[in-house]
Amino acid sequence: MIKIIAFDADDTLWVNEPFFREAEEEFGGLMEDFMPRHSSIKELYRTEIENLGLYGYGIKGFMLSMIQTALRISGHKIPGKLIDRILEIGYDMMQKPVEILPGVEKVLAELHDDYRLVMATKGDLVDQERKLKKSGLDHYFHHIEIMSEKKVADFGKLVRHLDVSPEEFLMLGNSLKSDILPVLELGGYAIHIPFHITWEHETIAHEVAHENFYQAEHIAQVVEMIKRM
């Protein structure tokens, strides 16, 4: 039944969220003359959420949110050298090596001949294309979809573009909110592969119960799970 298998990228194919956590901690340290570290990190998160509609997801929007937050909590008194350091934090994030998660390439190689594989991820177009190229995984994918959001309508548009029905579409990802629930609502299948760190915005408060929902502890388990579908 399954014809298309789509993979989320960040924290499903390669490491991503820990870099943001490290940057948040450094930002909190830079702001300690104006606000306690934990409070400035909370303020940064609030700014990020307010800006999602304008900046979308990714490092560039994160950099702008850091600068905006720093100006706000310092009363526009933050020294220029700290603004420079905030920009350097973002630049450093963009230069991070792409760390492919264990088992990923083996799974892609095993599935590649029997299914059309798709990378479906959120984020900044240029940055995600950079990471995909650096990863060396691009040759496994039939199609690349870098989405501004992952809602039911967005997955519906992707399924139509790929010319399959939702029942022929399987999504794998680490975010229950973005990768799993919209696909289940659309009528597709989804496998949740948890990552040890999840951005607060991507968490949900309830368990998922659905006949098309599967839970894996590690990506290496998904090949056998897919064979049983």
| H/E segment holding residue 173 | strand 169-173
In this prediction the pTM is 0.92
Domains and CATH numbers, the chain: 4-14+99-227 (3.40.50.1000), 17-94 (1.10.150.240)
* Residue 198 pLDDT level (bands cut at 50, 70, 90): confident
Model confidence over 212-222: pLDDT tens digits? 999 999 999 99
Model confidence over 125-157: pLDDT tens digits? 899 999 999 999 999 999 999 999 999 999 999
Q: Rounded distance, CA 186 to CA 191, Å?
A: 14
Amino acid 207: pLDDT: 85
**Percent of the chain's residues with pLDDT above 90:** 90
124: how many CB neighbours lie within 10 A of its CB?
Answer: 20
Kindly state the DSSP code that residue 142 receives in the 8-state scheme. S
Residue length of the chain: 229
Amino acid 199: pLDDT: 86
Amino acid 39: pLDDT: 97
Kindly state the DSSP code that residue 101 receives in the 8-state scheme. P
Amino acid 144: pLDDT: 96
Q: In the sheet that 116-122 helps form, which strands lie side by side, from edge to edge?
A: 143-147, 116-122, 4-7, 169-173, 189-192, 213-215
Q: Rounded distance, CA 179 to CA 151, Å?
A: 9
pLDDT at 112 > cutoff 90: yes
For residues 201 and 135, the model is more confident at: 135
Amino acid 73: pLDDT: 95
The residue type at 220:
A
* Residue 206 pLDDT level (bands cut at 50, 70, 90): confident
| H/E segment holding residue 191 | strand 189-192
Amino acid 162: pLDDT: 97
pLDDT at 61 > cutoff 90: yes
3-class SS of residue 122: strand
| H/E segment holding residue 72 | helix 59-73
Amino acid 178: pLDDT: 95
pLDDT at 203 > cutoff 90: no
